[in-house]
Structure 1
């Protein structure tokens, strides 16, 4: 969230490190999503149950679309809400393709790009999981994983080399790193893949999962080491090295940390953080509104709180939390309750994993 403080010129020099590495939070989001949604889809398949595609897509629609459409309507109808001038065409937001063919000259509500990646994952993964589990074979999963990783490396490296050559040859100036590398779904599959592989091991190889959980602290240390390597690879965020091989390394490091935190045997797995459950509950609404709220705080309070240091950061954060909580309780929660009433009599998805996801 605070990585996006660039929309208000940053929050002071002591927070400048966020502009270098804070963007990695979205990759953690992809790993977590692959892990949680992967379990929802794979658990019934592992038991030989029929995957209820309609229920899955309906659950996703009730979870994602109501709050998203409310915020999108505010962006369209209330220009003063927007954190930046310019908005991609409305149809791209409606169809969830704002991350494809993006014009970064229209950056308002641009963070919806990651939601588009997530929606594409929702559409494809259940079908792919159903096909892979019809006749189970480990080689299928490993071959697909290798294809995604190696294909992604080759694709991103090719895009980087092409665009840098075009730029050197005098092509029109544009933010090709964001438009061609950072946003498109096909370049951002590594985190989702690592999360799904975690879910696959937990569902189909529970003995492996349990044995590795006995060494969760060792896995945690390995994750920290891999993350250190990822930070080094991305020391130039838009460089070739990071964008070629950095993404799978970063995703693997985050997946190791998620594994360590998914049980109670690691140091971080035993941590109890007061308020974390509530924050997790409003996190989607927080994702949707925080950039616009930052801008509104700057417009109305920016001069009066400038130089407050940590208190300045607290004001921006508290305002974002307040608006996010309002959206969560007035829009998200009612539609989640409606979803529960509609799906409970039909058996829902056959699993209670991440019920509120």
Structure 2
């Protein structure tokens, strides 16, 4: 999912792989973005327990959109790279690889939610069949069923994993992939369609409840159900990442020129995200335009972090790789840990918020490390052995370390 300065190795093999199965060095910029993404998501959820960090405490939901941009780029890059040179991607390997990447840790945490209801962040959770079918974001009830509700973003990712190869394969069957301009035009059409859908949903499910005398709680529930969670309303970040991958695959000279403007794009990305914090997500303008704006800002940050012209693209920051490796396990478990500590350490949160901050996040790191070592890493090692056995080259991606977390 990234350029040569962005590719990374699979840390999953227990012994050195043959040279043709090895992958290039890690990208420090991608590690940093993953660390930032999971960090702001955790701070956003931490605000529910009386520890409201300015900025991320209100706007940390954008970390999920950063994960979406990363996933769109990292998943699309190896596929489009193969198609750009006339090579047929290994579609079966792609789907099986994604399943091995996501399911072991995801299902292990689902099991904890089922057998340890006292640890849940909410009393009720969606039916288990919705987790197995990745449909909980299509039929959400986040007001009454809050436990493991953050898995909605994994549903979006899973739908993307299934739809993107299908669309790319159909385009490749025509004998010639469309150029970057044509793909950009198609993406603009999809962006526009998403905005029209959110506009329609807002007018019917949110706006009427925001009118004088309306029910604000019903407006929030309608927003989550119709705009925030459904896959068809949240494709902006994934599309932005796919466009970057297409630019790199089909126009490498353009990609090099874009990377050379890393500082400019970092600044532009930060400015766009700061501007996004000034928009009310539940308002009409926020529902229609906020997600494309955030996707564009995150895409700019991604290019800036990949650019060898910026320190982010050259130098690893201490701790960033560790958080990147743990980001998926952290994403899956931190809310459960927060909920348990919120019950047993409520007094500490009120009397010593700094100590509570360290406790909540230290415990989350410990639980995520346990999940990574016991479940996630063994699954990745097994996947690497299977790839090695069938002599399938490891893709030049960074996703082995953590998919979304989203």
Same-fold call, TM cutoff 0.5: yes
Rounded Cα–Cα distance in structure 2 between residues aligned with 1:20 and 1:298: 19
In the alignment, which of 116, 121, 141 is matched to residue 155 of structure 2? 116
Rounded Cα–Cα distance in structure 2 between residues aligned with 1:256 and 1:172: 34
**Structure 2 residues without counterparts, runs of 5 or longer:** 1-41, 402-406
Partner of 2:45: 4
Deviation at 1:205, TM superposition (A): 1.1
Partner of 1:145: 187
Deviation at 1:351, TM superposition (A): 2.8
Deviation at 1:355, TM superposition (A): 6.1
Deviation at 1:267, TM superposition (A): 4.1
Rounded Cα–Cα distance in structure 2 between residues aligned with 1:272 and 1:307: 36
Contact 2:130 / 2:136 at 8 angstroms: preserved in 1? yes
Deviation at 1:186, TM superposition (A): 0.3
Rounded Cα–Cα distance in structure 2 between residues aligned with 1:324 and 1:183: 25
In the alignment, which of 132, 136, 143 is matched to residue 177 of structure 2? 136
Residue deviations 1:81-119, cap 9 Å, x none? 211111111110110111012112111100000000000
The answer to whether 1:265 aligns with 2:309 is yes
**Structure 1 residues without counterparts, runs of 5 or longer:** none
Q: Rate the CA distance shift 1:197–1:347 in 2: closer, same or farther, 3 A.
A: farther
Rounded Cα–Cα distance in structure 1 between residues aligned with 2:66 and 2:351: 31
Contact 1:7 / 1:291 at 8 angstroms: preserved in 2? no
Q: Secondary structure at the match of 1:180?
A: helix
Q: Rate the CA distance shift 1:17–1:89 in 2: closer, same or farther, 3 A.
A: same
In the alignment, which of 73, 87, 93 is matched to residue 35 of structure 1? 73
Q: Secondary structure at the match of 1:124?
A: helix
In the alignment, which of 164, 171, 194 is matched to residue 125 of structure 1? 164
Partner of 1:44: 82
Aligned-residue RMSD, C-alpha: 2.0
Rounded Cα–Cα distance in structure 2 between residues aligned with 1:62 and 1:270: 31
Partner of 2:374: 330
Rounded Cα–Cα distance in structure 1 between residues aligned with 2:90 and 2:48: 42
Q: Rate the CA distance shift 1:243–1:334 in 2: closer, same or farther, 3 A.
A: same
Rounded Cα–Cα distance in structure 2 between residues aligned with 1:210 and 1:173: 48
Rounded Cα–Cα distance in structure 2 between residues aligned with 1:350 and 1:282: 21
Q: TM-score, normalised by structure 1?
A: 0.93
Q: Rate the CA distance shift 1:335–1:321 in 2: closer, same or farther, 3 A.
A: same
Contact 1:52 / 1:349 at 8 angstroms: preserved in 2? no
The answer to whether 1:313 aligns with 2:357 is yes
Rounded Cα–Cα distance in structure 2 between residues aligned with 1:304 and 1:267: 39
The answer to whether 1:240 aligns with 2:279 is no
The answer to whether 1:206 aligns with 2:278 is no
Deviation at 1:217, TM superposition (A): 0.9
Deviation at 1:130, TM superposition (A): 2.1
Q: TM-score, normalised by structure 2?
A: 0.82
Contact 2:263 / 2:310 at 8 angstroms: preserved in 1? yes
Q: Secondary structure at the match of 1:111?
A: helix
Deviation at 1:199, TM superposition (A): 0.9
Moved more, 319-328 or 275-284: 275-284
Residue deviations 1:213-272, cap 9 Å, x none? 22211122222232233223x2x1211111101111110111011000012212433443
- Correspondences of 1:216-235 after superposition (within 5 Å): 216-232=262-278, 234=279
Whose RCO is larger (CA < 8 A, sep 6+)? 2
Q: Secondary structure at the match of 1:268?
A: helix
Partner of 1:281: 325
Residue deviations 1:33-75, cap 9 Å, x none? 1111111222222222221111011111111001111110111
Contact 1:44 / 1:349 at 8 angstroms: preserved in 2? no
Deviation at 1:211, TM superposition (A): 1.5
Deviation at 1:170, TM superposition (A): 7.0
Deviation at 1:349, TM superposition (A): 5.7
Q: Rate the CA distance shift 1:47–1:347 in 2: closer, same or farther, 3 A.
A: farther
Partner of 1:18: 56
Rounded Cα–Cα distance in structure 1 between residues aligned with 2:297 and 2:379: 35
Partner of 2:20: none
